Amino acid sequence: MSTAAAPIRQLDPETVGELRQAAEDILEEFGTSTTSPALLEQVAHSAAQLSETLRHQCRPVDTADGLFVMRGLAVDDHAVGPTPAGWATAGDSGAVYDIALLLVSALMGHPIAWEGQQDGRFVHNIVPSPGHETEQTGASSTVLLSPHTEDAFHPGRAHLLLLCCLRNHDNIATTAAGIRKTHLADQDIAALSKAVLPILPDDAYAEAQGFTDQAPPPVPTLHTTDEGMTLRYDPAYTPLDDADDDFRAAYERLSEELARVSVAVSLSPGDVLVVDNDLVVHGRVPFQARYDGTDRWLKRASVRVPGRRTRPAAEAGEHGYGQAAIEAHTS
């Protein structure tokens, strides 16, 4: 893994002020960042008024890296308050950044939420939580969060993942690896393009209702489009022992290639990392949480891009394990 600089899109002070003011106005009107149909409608209306300068900075990911960092939002470490002890107790902590992230998301596509995750919130708080240190979820800390496609188990997963940093005193890195930077043999691509194994829901959905009794659908790991390869990858929740030796060997070579091209991105407060979820797998290095209000704190938003053709058509027939995505139509 290399510590490489991600492509940066620097917001100028005027554009930052515009975004901040729009977020503050919405927060003042509604008094909360907890989304409602009325709040989402106002987000859509406000986003439509934002400048062409900001729209240009929110253009699609346009490099083989499959990601970029939007930089310039200011975060006052004292004013933002202590890092929450877990998402369930976060409430409106950092609420203005929830709204700012929703506005940026609305410029990129349609923000989505999940009925079975973080009470259906459109913006998640990603913080270390006591008792979850070794899980393969955003609440973990002491283990490597394995590289993965966000919500890989679901056909309605996001096209774009946004991570806004509010606090990162320890420079804890997010890891990222793009499929279009790898070098794979034709036979491995062919093997991994077949639907062999399912991807199971991750532990963040463990307590959600509505899981189906239907058999898990096998899905392809790789998909080739006119623009290049895309991937759907989550080894921590893929039953690899159920595959034959050839498939497991091809999957292992893919994992090795992703590790080879992986970069470590250490976000600073106010940075928004935008990841193309079809091109890039992401994770996080291990760290020791203090649980004293100073730990790493990210805000996460997920976005679908209407009309995007980066996935196999067969995905439309998957049951999604009974999990429902809620989509905010912002245009």
Model pTM above 0.85: yes
Q: What residue ranges do the domains of the chain occupy?
A: 8-327
Contact 272, 174 (CB under 8 A): no
* Structure confidence by residue, pLDDT tens digits, 244-256: 999 999 999 999 9
| Residue 65, CA distances (Å) to 8, 152, 260, 276, 298 in order | 12, 20, 14, 9, 21
Question: Domain 8-327 carries which CATH code?
Answer: 3.60.130.10
* Structure confidence by residue, pLDDT tens digits, 78-112: 999 999 998 888 899 999 999 999 999 999 999 99
Question: What average pLDDT does the segment 222-234 reach?
Answer: 95
Q: Report how far residue 265's alpha carbon sits from residue 1's, in angstroms, rounded to the nearest whole number.
A: 11
